[in-house]
Structure 1
Amino acid sequence: MKDLLTQSHKVVCWITVALTFCLGSCKDDTIETPEQSYDPSRAVEVTDFIPKSGGANEQMVIYGNNFGSDASIVHVSIGGEEATIIGVKNDVLYCLIPRQADEGSIKIQVGEGDNLSAVATLDEKLDYIKRTLVSTLCGEVDEEGEYDVKDGTFDDCGGFFNPSWFTFDPKRPNLLYMAQDGNDGGDVRLLDLEAETVTTPITRAMGNWGRMRSINWTMDGEYMIISNDQGNENGISTSILSRTNYFQDPQILTSYKQCNGAAIHPVNGELYFNSYEKGQFYRFDMETYFDRGLGIKDYEELFKIQDNAWEFNIRIHPSGDYAYIVVINQHYILRTDYNWETKRFTSPFVVCGEARSAAWVDGAGTSARLNNPYQGVFVKNDNYVAQGKEDVYDFYFTERGNHDIRILSPEGRVTTYAGRGSENVNSDAFGYIDGGLRDEARFNRPEALAYDETNKIFYIGDCNNHVIRTIVVD
């Protein structure tokens, strides 16, 4: 993975540390004003450092002697990992603690070629603290914001066009499928997390799709279901593709217009999908479809969630007891409970946010404010398990309007998990900065979200940055 900090963030960090030092953080409260060059005839010394404990991407000041003033010839190793040098001034240098610096030893070497010094070490070690960090997995955009969309390794796959929906292959969990929402370039990409490659196994042309909005799986994992958003009343709302034919055989499953999302019930297997037209919520019996066959219009409308032009997707709880209806363009989330006798979801009610009220406010129920919530995932909370709670899952979801990731608890409380950080850079809520969840990290219209429960990793499709981000404990 790449550890990236924007150039502006680096500059501000340097200014912050330098100002702090000038105001008295130096051990002797003195600064050598004239710049001094590294003297290869003298030993390099390391005498002290602050802070004594810290985690990845945090600033560190290292004291010593004969560092010189040329940062390009100074190499700092912390815990066996190379640190990023911010600045150096002969007897003091400033750097960022690298990731995975668990061992904590501090070593410095200065010079190049024949003038390379011996490694200077310090007996005292950094108490390395593991942090949960936002990082960049793959994707790249140049300084003008231009990018190529291409297959390749994580280091050479270009940027991503609207990475808007993630789903793991249930039979091959190292494969992460991604829908790219859009009429131009909106193909399905495949991230092989083991081989670290990106490919394009499914194109829009294959299924005559307009905008592919979600990807789901039948209970046995043998079929992929893609929802499709296009205006024709007799168009494709969902398509089915078989593993047997390597997902190269799309067939129309249901037909209507403007489908924003679909979901399979995890226990009983029926398909639920929507229409943007009037906010319709439909049920399609997959068991009957496989046993006796059903036509592409053989589905039933269970309810309408509001009125015309409600854009939403459906996420069903792992137990199957209820589903969240994430209303993207109206800024709130509904809950619909499942009737186990009739095998149908019931009329929904508001869980958090308020219709037509876009804002960023953490809080409970309708006191919370959302802005374009998008994809969500259920994540087991070990604290709930220890407490013996009935529902042990939080619901994490992206917000493209607030440029963050929020958490919805089972009781309906919304909190901000990641994003909107780095106030020392500027006042923007959006941007492209890796680092600590709330103090540093920034996104720019995140949409896709997936969670690897085995390895405890979140994957985020950061649309306007055209990259794939991760959240993981260092």
Structure 2
Amino acid sequence: MKRKTTISTVCKQAILILFSSVYLSGLGGCQDGGTTYGAPQGSPSDPNQPVIFTDFTPNEGPVRTRMYINGENFGTDISLIDVFIGGQKAKVIHSSDKQIYCMVPARASGGYVEVTIKNTDGNEYVKHTFDQRFTYHFNEMVGTLWGKVDQNGNSSVKNGSFEEAETIEPRLALFDDKDGRREIYFCEGNKTIRKMDLNKREVTTVLKSGSVDWKSINTMCWSKEKDTLFVNNVTTVQDAPGIYYFLRKENFQIPHNCVIMKNVNCIFVNDADPDDWGIYFITKDKSMLYKGIFNPETGLWDPKELHSFGNSGQWYEHAVFHPEGKYLYCLSRGQHCIQKVIYDPETNQLEKPDVFVGYSGSKGYVDGVGTNARFSIPMQGVFVRNEQYVKEGKDDIYDFYVMDADNHCVRTVSPEGVVTTYAGRGSISSDGRVYGYIDGPIRTDARFSTPMGLCYEESTSTFYVCDKNNRRIRTISVQ
């Protein structure tokens, strides 16, 4: 039997059609940065009338501040309107012909606000730069670069795009900027090396677990020219390689024996001194400092014993030279402190270490000066140039940023030994927890969970964090 269509049903259908027509005509259209789906783009500026620019508001704010530009005859087609704030292109969201609504982009620090109104053919019709300037407020934010997990927080070791890639245990990061590259090598657990390409936004595996006869990776570093990658091997076998090296021309995939020695747990290179071509390393059993010197006859680096280094059996997680070669910082996991070692460029020798910040053998979380500060497990750190120090004419213009794994944060060490918390431990839970997975402002909101790796990209002022227990790669950037 055929169903009858009542007057009431016809009215409902008419109302629905009318609503759909109005929605698609632009009154309810879905717009995103100038694209309106299923609707006209709006009207262009009237070429027979002048375009008038009055002012904009607000005058200051951080990234994603809503800006309103006032005037007349802007047109309503946002695809024909370009706005640049501080030299960065802003996202234009709406125009009512008398007011343009846009969003302040990241790093809009130049201050100038420039508006271009185009003809329907896309050519420039009017360009205006306001005398009034916008004051940009920088925000330091923690974000997530990649690391796909399921609803239960589970993941696997999976390569692919940043949207697809997964990691189980990211631990140690090393930035590669040679010849314009933007790549980061990192340890997956302690036996696999993977690479993330920031330009291609993809993750690949360089060395699989088992492809090299190593027991455990603890540190890795570049040669001066960054054509060789040194990776340690914590082994208890006396005649086994304690350090391997890998060559860029072989895509870092073929292991070569470098130093034959057991219990090598920390390796580092002095980039600053042009006469210092050796590789330094510290052993765990005697806590002895060595310098490996290349032997062209054997193709190995011969270990030269320099002197005892710290306490016997002390585990050094990471060591890094100051960018100008003035000294070395050694991160002692077991002693919960950072030791400082002066480098003598006349003799090419490192002196014995002294505790610089933290208190040897005392674990905790305290911001403070020198040995009044407390760390839990300092893992990996990088020196970063501080422009304020440059303006002040300081002799040492670098701060040291270091992962404090069990305190779930990034700490900063000034040249004078002042320790502060830089990022993490934000929005403390009602149960007192300071760890977790939260993106946002570095101190008020952001949280990590056992972050273990850290590297820095100077060209973009971005930190990259191996956030182990969250199974993600996080970023800390200025926006």
1:156 corresponds in structure 2 to 164
- Paired residue for 1:350? 355
- In structure 2, what is the equivalent of residue 168 of structure 1? 176
Q: Does 1:319 find its partner at 2:353?
A: no
Whether 1:141 aligns to 2:149 is yes
Equivalences for 1:67-466 in 2 at 5 Å? 80=91, 100=106, 129-182=137-190, 186-266=191-271, 267=273, 268-286=276-294, 289=295, 291-293=296-298, 295=300, 298-423=303-428, 427-466=432-471
What is the letter of the counterpart of residue 287 of structure 2? G
User: Which letter maps to 1:255?
Assistant: I
Q: What percent identity do the matched residue pairs reach? A: 31
Pair 1:180–1:136, CA change in 2 (3 A): same
- CA–CA distance in structure 1, aligned partners of residues 389 and 282 of structure 2: 32
Q: Residue in 2 aligned with 1:9? A: none
Matched, 1:472 2:472: no
User: Alpha-carbon deviations, 1:252-274, whole Å to 9, x = none?
Assistant: 11122232221111122211111
Distance 1:254 1:361, change over 3 A: same
For 2:419 and 2:303, the matched residues in 1 are separated by: 38
Secondary structure of 1:401's match?
helix
The aligned residue for residue 18 of structure 1 is: none
User: Equivalents in 1 of 2:364, 2:64: separation in Å?
Assistant: 30
Cα deviation for residue 458 of structure 1 reads: 0.5
Alignment gaps of 5+ in structure 2: 1-18, 29-57, 67-89, 94-102, 112-133
Q: Which has the higher contact order (CA 8 A, sep 6+)?
A: 1
Work out the CA distance in 1 between the residues paired with 2:107 and 2:207. Answer: 40
Conservation of the 8 A alpha-carbon contact between 2:339 and 2:353: yes
Q: 1:426 to 1:196 in 2, by over 3 A?
A: farther
* Counterpart AA for 2:307: L
Q: Residues 163-207 of structure 1: CA distance to partner in whole angstroms, max 9, x if unpaired?
A: 32333253453111112333xxx3111111100000001224332
Query: RMSD in angstroms over aligned alpha carbons?
Result: 3.2
TM-score norm. by structure 2 comes to: 0.71
Q: Which runs of 5+ in 1 are unaligned?
A: 1-38, 45-50, 61-78, 83-96, 104-125
Cα 1:384/1:53, change in 2 over 3 Å? closer
* Structure 2 CA distance for aligned equivalents of residues 458 and 52 of structure 1: 30
Q: Is contact 1:171-1:221 (8 Å) kept? A: no
Q: By how many angstroms is 1:370 displaced?
A: 0.5
Distance 1:169 1:211 in 2: 26
Secondary structure of 2:347's aligned partner: coil
Structure 1 position 132, deviation (Å) = 1.2
Aligned to 1:34: none
The amino acid across from 1:173 in the alignment is R
Is 2:219–2:317's contact at 8 Å kept on the other side of the alignment? no
SS of the equivalent of 2:210 reads helix
What letter corresponds to residue 368 of structure 1 in structure 2? A
Change (3 A) 1:280 1:167: farther
Deviation at 1:251, TM superposition (A): 1.2
Q: Counterpart of 2:166 in structure 1: which amino acid?
A: G
Compute the displacement of 1:52 (Å).
Answer: 10
How far apart, in 2, do the equivalents of 1:235 and 1:381 lie?
A: 42
Match of 1:71 in 2: none
Q: State whether residues 169 and 177 of structure 1, in contact with CA within 8 Å, keep that contact through their aligned partners in structure 2.
A: no
| SS of alignment partner, residue 299 of structure 1 | strand
Hey, what's the Cα distance between the residues in 1 that align with 2:135 and 2:91?
A: 14
Give secondary structure in 1 for the equivalent of 2:211: helix
The amino acid across from 1:318 in the alignment is: P
Distance in 1, matches of 2:135 and 2:268, equals 46
Distance of 1:130 and 1:341 partners within structure 2:
43
| Equivalent position SS for 1:407 | strand
1:130, distance to aligned residue in structure 2 (A): 3.9
Does the 8 A contact of 1:447 with 1:461 survive in 2? yes
**1:278, 1:310 within 8 Å by CA — same for their partners in 2?**
no
Larger C-alpha radius of gyration, 1 or 2? 2
Counterpart CA distance in 1 for 2:419 and 2:369 is 6
**Structure 1 residues 99 and 146, CA gap change in structure 2 (3 angstroms):** farther
Cα distance in 1 for residues equivalent to 2:106 and 2:92: 7
Distance (Å, rounded) in 1 between the aligned partners of 2:317 and 2:169: 21
Structure 1 residue 432: deviation in Å?
A: 0.4
> Partner amino acid for 1:361?
V
For 1:316 and 1:329, how far apart are their aligned partners in 2? Answer: 21
Q: Which amino acid aligns with 2:270?
A: H
The one-letter amino acid paired with 2:139 is R
The one-letter amino acid of 1:148's match is S
Q: 1:327 to 1:138 in 2, by over 3 A?
A: same
